[in-house]
Amino acid sequence: MFDYLRKRLTSHIRERSRRRARLVSKDGRCNIEFGNVEQSRFVFLIDIWTTILDLRWRYKMTIFISAFLGSWFLFGLLWYVVAYIHKDLPEFNPSINHTPCVENINGLTSAFLFSLETQVTIGYGFRCVTEQCATAIFLLIFQSILGVIINSFMCGAILAKISRSKNRAKTITFSKNAVISKRGGKLCLLIRVANLRKSLLIGSHIYGKLLKTTITPEGETIILDQVNIEFVVDAGNENLFFISPLTIYHIIDKNSPFFHMAAETILQQDFELVVFLDGTVEATSATCQVRTSYIPEEVLWGYRFAPIVSKTKEGKYRVDFQNFSKTVAVETPHCAFCLYNEKEAKAKEKKGYDNPGFVLSEVSETSDTKM
């Protein structure tokens, strides 16, 4: 009993460790980190716009709030300094005929409120700049211009973050597993993909990359070596009419990296199949990319996808997403090599011979007999 539990625990830990070793997660996130980068982090500040857009929402909102509060407080200090230098504060006991640079600034709090009113153009009318000193006029102009720049940058960053096509990609879903079965008389690897919105992706294009570790003839080990995987549907792999779920497939022929795999050996392989879908969002005209990945445990040999589209009595087409990732076992050759050998054998059988090397030789018979 103890040995059985130990084996199950060991296999479970091995399976978990193998499942973690994937470059692209099921939701499209890349599992990679950069180390010992020679360039300094200052280069990310040069491209500050992209850096702000790539930040998570909690960091972006922290920068958003800090930018406004920090500018209000900084200019509040400057307005307080102007009032202090011009001796407009009550602690200096100004005379009745004294004209302050800014009316009704009595301390740091009132200076902060005037800074806020100036930058967000509230204009309550209680505090205002007079023509007494040019310093206050210059500071008012400078804060107004800088406030417009901060407001445009931060609000633009929030708007761009909300409208990024990355969020549109979340409404494109792939099947949980890939399947291998016969399609059109050929052995194919099939994947189902669906658009959860009624709006289309214009100019959609789908393709794949097989990531594996290879060893070159020179003895060099290449980790994450990429091999192109061509996916097609019945109408091609470009400009897909992506209104209903599609089943894309890759033909396993002699040029396919899956050609030498079999049903018994596919789980022993070490690869990751990454599938990409590129398209243009119809509503915003922004390009987006959806991606997912499949490891050997997620490739089911000898299965096909269950039907998902039906027609109602009212004449409408209904998509049942309950069967989206459901698979059905079907009769499938154990390997692509077996299928092609079977086809060649049937073709030779139709031609009427089994051994192409057999040659029929005629023997001439003589009727003469020697006595």
The pLDDT tens digits for 85-126 are: 999 898 888 888 888 999 989 999 999 999 999 998 887 888
Mean pLDDT of 32-49: 73
For residue 193, the cross-strand partners are: 174, 246
The pLDDT score that the predictor gives to residue 38 is 67
Q: Report d(CA 56, CA 29) in Å as an integer.
A: 14
For residue 77, pLDDT beyond 90: yes
CB-based contact 94:87 (threshold 8 Å): yes
Report helix angle 108-119 to 134-162, nearest 10: 60
Q: Around Cβ 191, how many Cβ atoms within 10 Å? A: 23
Q: Which domains does the chain have, with CATH numbers?
A: 52-163 (1.10.287.70), 168-349 (2.60.40.1400)
The pLDDT score that the predictor gives to residue 242 is 76
Burial state string for 140-179 with b = 16 or more CB within 10 A and e = fewer than 16: beebeeebeebbeebeebbeebeeebeebbeebbbbebbb
DSSP conformation class of 307? P
Q: Residue 354: pLDDT band by 50, 70, 90 thresholds?
A: low
Which of 194, 145, 190, 144 shows the shortest CA–CA distance to 169? 194
Q: Report d(CA 206, CA 279) in Å as an integer.
A: 9
**Model confidence pTM above 0.75:** no
pLDDT averaged over the chain?
82
